[in-house]
Each structure stands twice: as C-alpha cells, then as structure tokens.
Amino acid sequence: MAGLNRDWMARACESIPGGVNSPVRAYASVGGTPRFITEASGCWVSDVEGRRYVDLVCSWGPALLGHAHPQVVAAVQAAAARGLSFGAPTGAEVELAERIRARVPIAEQVRLVSTGTEATMTAVRLARGATGRDVIIKFAGHYHGHCDALLVAAGSGLATQGLPGSAGVTAAAAADTVVLPYNDTTALREVFASLGDRVAAVITEAAAANMGVVAPAAGFNAELRRLTHEYGALLILDEVLTGFRVSPAGWWGLEAGVEQPDWAPDLLTFGKVVGGGMPLAAVAGRREVMNLLAPLGPVYQAGTLSGNPLATAAGIATLDLADAAVYALVDRRSAELQALVGEALSRAGVPHVVQRAGNLFSVFFREQPVTCYADAQAQDTEAFRRFFHALLQRQVALPPSPFEAWFLSAAHDDQAMEVIADALPAAAQAAGR
C-alpha cells in the first residue's frame, strides 16, 4: 500500500491541472504528497494507503456534526431515491430558506445557489444594482471566492485601486475594487470621505478566517455598518465560513445579538455548514434588496442546480441536528484544543499566537498578535510546515496551509483528543527546529 498517495497524485496530474480541483489541496504551502481520501466517518478520515487521521479540516467547515452523520446520510439517500435534480421548485428549497430565516431573522429573503463564490458574486451584483454605483471595498487577506471583482491584491498606501490578483482577471474587472487593511477604521473613513458617493458596498468576512483566524476589532463591524449607512452604501457580511458554525446565527448573531441586534448588514452570504457537506450556498438579506433579483427585479442570477434536492436535504438535516448541545460541545472541544496546542508550543519554546473567533481558531508562528493580513504574512511558515508534517505522521490532519482556520466537530470525542494530545509534543519540537 505504501506509495499509493504518490501514485494517485501522479495519475491525477495527468488529467487534472496540478492534480487537484481546488488549489490548497495540492499541499503547495507545506510540501509533500496530498492524502487521497477514501472515506470519512465522525472525526476520522482514511486515505488510499489505509491510514486514519483525526480530521481538523472537516471539509473546510461543513462537517459540524462530523463526517457521514447517519441522519444526514439517510436524508440524502431518501432524496436521491426521489430524483437527483428537477430543474423546478421543491418544498425542500422553501424549508431550508425558512430555517435560515429562523436562525438569522435579518435574512428576510434567501436565494439558494451552489457555491460560496456564487453567493458573494450575486451579493456584489445586487449591491451595484441597488445603489447604481460601481465601487466595492474589500479588505486585504479576506477571501470571498474566485469571482473576478474580488480577486484583487492590496497595494501600497492606505487604499489602492485594485489590481488583478490572478491571471485572466482584467484590469477593468478589478478597477472598481478598493482594498484596505483589515481592522483599519482610519483608512476606511478616509476612503469614504474621498469616494463615498461611488461606493456600492463594503464586503467583509464576518470574522476573518482565510488568512488564519483574525477576529474583527471591537466595534469594527459596527463602524462598517455606520459608514455604509451614512454614505448610502450596502454592507455585505460574508458568513460562508462562520455562518451556522460559530453559533446558531453565525458570527453576526454572536457579535451583534439576534433578538435586538446592535447592528445588521444589508446582505449576508452563507456556505459550508448550510449545505451539510453538499454543494450549496445562499445569499440573503433585506427584502427590498433581495426583491431586485430576477424574476422580480432587474438583477439577473440563475443556476440549473441551485436548490438541488440532495443538497437541500443535507442542509435541512444538518441545521435541524445542530442544536445548542452541538454548539456547546464544539465550543468546548475547540477551547480544549487551543489550550493543548498553546501549552505544547510554549513548552518547546516556539514563538506562536493562538487566535480565535468563536470556536474557529488558528495558530500563527510569530510572537505578536495578528490584526491584519500583513501581520499574518509575517510569520514563520517553515515552522508551520514542520509542525504540519509532524502531526500528519502521527495521525492528525491539519489544514495544509498556515493561513487557514482549524475546524472541530461534535464528533471529536475523547479518543480523538487523546490522539492529538499525544502527537503535539513531538510536533511542537519539530516546529522549533
């Protein structure tokens, strides 16, 4: 069996660019050979060589309940027996939208799509259609999917007009995107003072989790709300990662409160958990904005597989099962793991910072806290690479990048935590070499 992962990677590279269908899977940040997974159950994944790993990726977030939860699988199997896709409305679409609205009351209407990229792309188009303006403000280090307008890199100065961050993205597509440092309210106010009447929307991760986990500074999201309201722009809160994971109502519910929120965005985007592991995402928000979508309004969006019956079945089952006990367990396991990691790295004398946003967390290999993308980039990525591989050798699978959140599930039991705890001292020593 030895070498089967390498064999599969070589075979994959012949048919698939880079051997993967999403770049981070290629292990480019950490080196080595990606593990080709054959099955997953609970908090464990198994590769083609028969090795099992405690999984701290959780499919990049969706597996809140653990992999292959029997009730979620049964719901998908029952839906599949009735047909894989209809290209017509179903009751399940309505039921999932109702569940989203019940958890996030400011989501007055919901449009289901297939990916987080589709959701953010639609939200941006909606904002431009609602305001008649072109400029979008985003933050360096925030990832909102691979739509052209948001694949831009930050330049020098407080704010720069966006430059394409990917080949194939035209300068024209990126020209109306302004990139700012995260958590910098001064830069934000200066841009609004200069460009306020041209700004359609500010889009922000509810809590940053795509450059490692960097929570918004106290009052930052509320200031985004205040400024966008003052200048007639919309606020888009990207909860693709945080939605229904860090709390029943995502980061917005955790920070602002659900019943009488301190602030509320105009639009939200959801993915990951909302699809229960199936390809499903959503854009939601104020009724008067959402009603601008076709067929009611002039903003066009469509998708043959949007609201797919298998995906909606998985989403409904996941949200129904994700009760208060589930969130309490994930919160507890996350706190436990943060402590274990911090203690191991401290004993080994490895500079590090453990940062969290709710039950999401990550480890930065540096001495000072991270508040923005420049901080996140100024870490010892080689230390992370050594740490990653030392854990992988000991049956613990981390996200293969130093710029990702770590994920736990309700299936991470005492046995799994013991495996991680046993692996951490050697991994910490490896990181410090």
Residue-wise pLDDT for 287-315, tens only, equals 999 999 999 999 999 999 999 999 999 99
The one catalytic residue in 143, 182, 327, 373 is 143
The one catalytic residue in 55, 266, 272, 373 is 272
Beta strand segments in 84-130, E = 109-113
- 296 three-state secondary structure: coil
Q: In whole angstroms, give the CA distance from residue 298 to residue 99.
A: 27
Which band of pLDDT confidence, cut at 50, 70 and 90, is reported for residue 206?
A: very high
User: Which residues have C-beta within 8 Å of that of residue 274, sequence separation ≥ 6?
Assistant: 96, 100, 243, 244, 280, 281, 282, 315, 318, 319
The one catalytic residue in 47, 55, 238, 375 is 238
Q: What is the pLDDT of residue 171?
A: 79
- Determine whether 238 is an active site residue: yes
- Determine whether 143 is an active site residue: yes
- Determine whether 134 is an active site residue: no
- Judge whether residue 166 has pLDDT over 90: no
Domains of the chain by range and CATH? 1-56 (3.90.1150.10), 88-307 (3.40.640.10)
Which band of pLDDT confidence, cut at 50, 70 and 90, is reported for residue 160?
A: very low
- H or E element: which one contains 362? strand 360-364
Q: 268, 221 in Cβ contact below 8 A?
A: no
- 405 three-state secondary structure: coil
Q: Which residues on neighbouring strands pair with residue 45, listed in sequence order?
A: 40, 53
DSSP 8-state secondary structure symbol assigned to residue 19: G
- Judge whether residue 380 has pLDDT over 80: yes
**Which of 329, 338, 336, 381 lies closest to 356, judged by CA?**
338
Percent of the chain topping pLDDT 70: 97
Q: In whole angstroms, give the CA distance from residue 241 to residue 234.
A: 21
- 136 three-state secondary structure: strand
